[in-house]
């Protein structure tokens, strides 16, 4: 028996209502803020990620799905959505449109992680990016969108963690101070942090091991090292958040798992804490587009993990609108009636009435049982007597009441009825 590969899931029909709900909320949010949809391929040149997310991060060092295609090109399954959006921005000359260009996307991302609740090898992201402007007001817009997205879903138990990680000028000085601090504790560091100290010191602050966290708690704070411009940007972004009444918590240890960030970084954390628990994360990446060969282009964005959102919707017992069921089930008794049922189903669908037709030679009882399972509001029953009198039996599945109506009245009757809510 084949199974879905480890860390991937089939999204069964009973789960789809959650996905549709999340996607609908996401699309209305983006429309409200003037963001336009963009779809990018599921695989890209692997260097797109190695150059931007960068070596020294788990995503690039341990988690990318890379392969060489039959033409010898080295490709990678999409590891995240931001670098592909920037690639598309450059490739299609979107820098010629009025800036910032506001875009959003949905799609799977692939990371070879150790699967557990809320952590998958194929997960799905909803993200949005504003490319081409350095104004801190757009940082606040993106953070507000993230907040409004979670609120619109009905999730209220989350916090917004905020930090600034500086720029090319001030970050190196901080990294140097961090290295010095950690060098005094090398013997106490976990093996991963020993590597981080050499390859990516900022990530030291993010280690979840208790012994390393103690060292992080007494580490120098990045905000004490920000240059004047970064400090002013951070203050201004916070000013806008306060103006908008968006609650946030300053978190000097928030560094994010991708290397392209500059200045503002933020994460949305659910109240129920746990490793790898962020519902979403984002921030500014003012050097990314330049690293891909474009002109210096400031940008900011955010992405949420849909599986984690759905996990939280379930944990909070939120009621999700069900997917609409067909309004009627068409049942029949006998071969002749089956012919009538097939014809009637087709006619109703052509009149834009969603119906599900019985199949096979089941008893009427079995057919009604099916109609119940499918959740149709009505069942239309055709037997020999109905063919002769050119009528059908119209059964209300909620009350169990049934009446005989002329065939000519089926469409109007169904159009007048309300499907079960």
Residue pointed to by tokens 């081409």: 132
Q: Is 78 in the site for ligand HAM (CB under 6 A)?
A: no
Tell the smallest beta-carbon distance from residue 395 to ligand HAM (Å): 45
Q: Is 103 in the site for ligand HAM (CB under 6 A)?
A: no
**Which C-beta is closer to ligand HAM: that of 238 or that of 264?**
264
The residue within the footprint of ligand HAM, chosen from 23, 44, 61, 113 (CB under 6 A), is: 113
* Tokens read off for 411: 């469409």
Phi, psi of 71 (to 5 degrees): -90, 5
> Which residue in the set 51, 119, 203, 395 belongs to the binding site for ligand HAM (CB under 6 A)?
119
Using an 8 Å Cβ cutoff, are 382 and 392 in contact?
yes
DSSP-assigned letter for residue 52: I
Return the number of the residue (142 or 392) whose C-beta is nearest ligand HAM.
142
- Gap between the Cα atoms of 138 and 413, Å rounded: 52
E strands, 189-342, in order: 249-250, 262-270, 280-284, 299-305, 328-332
132 binds ligand HAM (CB under 6 A): no
Q: How far is the CB of 75 from ligand HAM (least distance, A)?
A: 19
Q: Which of 162, 237, 289, 303 binds ligand HAM (CB under 6 A)?
A: 303
CA 11 to chain centre: 14
The nearer residue to ligand HAM, 79 or 212, going by C-beta atoms, is 79
Separation of alpha carbons 221 and 217, rounded Å = 9
Among 82, 238, 379, 391, binds ligand HAM (CB under 6 A): 82
Distance in angstroms (rounded) separating the CA atoms of residues 202 and 199: 9
Q: Which of residues 254-293 bind ligand HAM (CB under 6 A)?
A: 257-258, 278-283
Indicate if the alpha-carbon torsion angle 331, 332, 335, 337 is positive or negative. Answer: negative
Q: Is 308 in the site for ligand HAM (CB under 6 A)?
A: yes
Pick 151 or 359: Cβ nearer ligand HAM: 151
Which residues sit at the interface with ligand HAM, rule CB under 6 A? 80-82, 111, 113, 118-120, 123, 125, 127, 129, 257-258, 278-283, 301-305, 307-308
């Amino acid at each position: 028996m084949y199974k879905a590969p480890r860390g991937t899931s089939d999204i069964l029909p009973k789960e789809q209502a959650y996905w549709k709900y999340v996607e609908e909320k996401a699309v209305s949010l983006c429309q409200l803020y003037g963001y336009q949809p963009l779809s990018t391929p599921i695989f890209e040149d692997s260097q797109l990620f190695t150059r931007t997310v960068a070596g020294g991060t788990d995503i690039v060092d341990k988690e990318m799905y890379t392969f060489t295609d039959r033409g010898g090109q080295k490709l990678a399954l999409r590891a995240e959505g931001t670098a592909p959006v920037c690639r598309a921005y450059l490739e299609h000359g979107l820098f010629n449109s009025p800036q910032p260009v506001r875009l959003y996307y949905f799609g799977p991302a692939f990371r070879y992680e150790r699967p557990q609740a809320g952590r998958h090898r194929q997960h799905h992201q909803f993200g949005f990016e504003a490319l081409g402007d350095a104004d801190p007001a757009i940082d606040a817009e993106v953070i507000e969108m993230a907040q409004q997205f979670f609120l619109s879903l009905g999730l209220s138990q989350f916090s917004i963690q905020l930090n600034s990680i500086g720029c090319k000028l001030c970050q190196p000085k901080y990294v140097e101070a961090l290295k010095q601090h950690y060098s005094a504790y090398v013997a106490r560091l976990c093996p991963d942090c020993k590597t981080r100290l050499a390859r990516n010191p900022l990530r030291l602050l993010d280690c979840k091991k208790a012994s390393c966290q103690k060292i992080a708690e007494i580490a120098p704070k990045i905000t004490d090292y920000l240059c004047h411009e970064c400090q002013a940007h951070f203050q201004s972004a916070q000013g806008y958040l306060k103006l908008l009444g968006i609650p946030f918590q300053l978190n000097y240890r928030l560094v994010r798992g991708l290397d392209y960030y500059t200045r503002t970084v933020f994460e949305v954390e659910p109240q129920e804490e746990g490793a790898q628990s962020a519902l979403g994360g984002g921030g500014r990446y003012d050097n990314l587009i330049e690293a891909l060969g474009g002109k210096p282009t400031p940008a900011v964005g955010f992405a949420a993990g849909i599986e984690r959102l759905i996990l939280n919707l379930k944990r909070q017992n939120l009621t999700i609108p069900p997917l609409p069921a067909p309004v009627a089930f068409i049942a029949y008794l006998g071969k002749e009636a089956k012919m009538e049922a097939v014809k009637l189903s087709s006619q109703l669908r052509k009149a834009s009435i969603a119906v599900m037709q019985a199949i096979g030679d089941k008893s009427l009882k079995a057919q009604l049982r099916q109609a119940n399972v499918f959740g149709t509001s009505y069942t239309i029953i055709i037997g020999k007597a109905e063919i002769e009198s050119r009528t059908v039996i119209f059964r209300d599945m909620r009350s169990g009441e049934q009446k005989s109506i002329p065939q000519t009245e089926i469409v109007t009757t169904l159009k007048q009825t309300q499907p079960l809510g």
